[in-house]
Amino acid sequence: MAGKVKPIEQEPKMKNNKASLIPAKRKSVKTMMFRSILRSLMDSLCNIKISNANKKNMLKETTSILTRKIFAGLNDTNERVAARNRIVQQLHR
């Protein structure tokens, strides 16, 4: 009997925000794939240090083209805007 551990009973936590009342939408595989691409793109942007202004502008242009193509696959407008804003913030650091 000493070796057995009783499972802890957990009470269901009540959330006061309205978002919890709305059932969570299931993400499609396509959206999840694009999110992972965006995440890896942003990670690589964070690691790039460019001193030359022309090269930095070229990088920004290339990134915007890439992200536009990626955003074409995202359905949610808010998701697109949030992802674009994060990338712009990374570039302007």
pLDDT digits (tens, 9 = 90+) for 18-53: 444 545 566 677 777 777 777 777 677 666 666 677
Q: Which residue has the tokens 């794939």?
A: 33
Q: Between 81 and 4, whose confidence is greater?
A: 81
Predicted TM-score (pTM) of the model is 0.31
The whole-number pLDDT of residue 89 equals 75
- Within a domain: residue 92? yes
Domain that holds residue 81: 51-93
The CB density around residue 31, as the number of other CB atoms within 10 Å, is 16
By the 10 Å C-beta count (0-12 exposed, 13-18 middle, 19+ buried), 38 is classed as buried
- Within a domain: residue 68? yes
Instruction: Read off φ and ψ for residue 24, nearest 5 degrees.
Output: -70, 135
Q: Between 46 and 87, whose confidence is greater?
A: 87
The whole-number pLDDT of residue 17 equals 47
Any residues with CB less than 8 A from the CB of 87 and at least 6 apart, and which? Answer: 38, 41, 42, 45, 63, 67
| Count of structural domains within the chain | 1
